[in-house]
Amino acid sequence: MLVIALMPIFGQGIFGRTISYGLGLGDAFYALMSFVAFVVFMILINLKKIKSNLKSKRTVAIFIYLTIIFFSYSFTVGRGVEYAWNGEILYPSTQGQEKNNDYKSSTLELGNGDDVIVNLEVLDNTGITKIEFQANGNVEAMNSDDLENYKIVSFGFEGKGEGTFKVCVYSSNDTICSEHYVEGGYRPELTCTKEKIEVKEHIGY
């Protein structure tokens, strides 16, 4: 119980995951309560008076069970709003979150050229199943796994002169596409959700 309560404080856990009470810094309060309860239990179970009294043993056992139930409820169904109950007991640990944030900030690179490089930022991947890029007969796609791991995708292709490229965002019940004129050296920047594709910067040298 003590180990479980201290997991949120050190940001460590089981296989990169940890217990959370959903209270942010308030998790320290639960860790303190758990530590105090642990010390009290150790004192009680080692008292000679309790060791020799069956009724006292039962009282201590009930107290221990109720305390375990209280802490179990607090990091599951009763978890705070910061990490509200979602059916999972363990959350990514502090180190796991830092690693995941670094990964999400990187860019997925697609395409086989660099005359024109299109950068697309996925503002919200909810409902998106695939994002497809088309240019000069070349088709590249960002699949559902990529969408979970990357927020930005870069699509490069050959195009010394004038040309066009198309971006299509696929969702379970719809597909939206946007086609754009470009010339060699252009660096257009776009954003998207499942409902719309917008241009942040068209030329972007």
pLDDT tens per residue across span 11-49: 444 444 567 777 777 777 877 888 888 888 888 777 777
Give tens-digit pLDDT for 130-164: 999 999 999 999 998 889 889 999 999 998 889 99
Q: Which helix (H) or strand (E) holds 135?
A: strand 128-135
CA angle, 63 then 65 then 71, to 5°? 100
**In this structure, are strands 91-92 and 128-135 parallel, antiparallel, or unpaired?**
unpaired
Rounded Cα–Cα distance for residues 177 and 88 (Å): 37
94, amino acid identity = T
Structure confidence at residue 148 (pLDDT): 87
3-state class of 137 per DSSP? coil
- Say which residue the tokens 């490229």 belong to: 165
Angle between helix 27-45 and helix 2-10 axes, rounded to 10 deg: 150
Residue 49 Cα distances to 36, 46, 57, angstroms: 21, 9, 10
- Beta strand residue intervals within 11-115, DSSP E: 17-18, 91-92, 107-111
Rounded Cα–Cα distance for residues 153 and 142 (Å): 8
Lowest mean pLDDT across 82-91, 116-125, 130-139, 158-167: 82-91
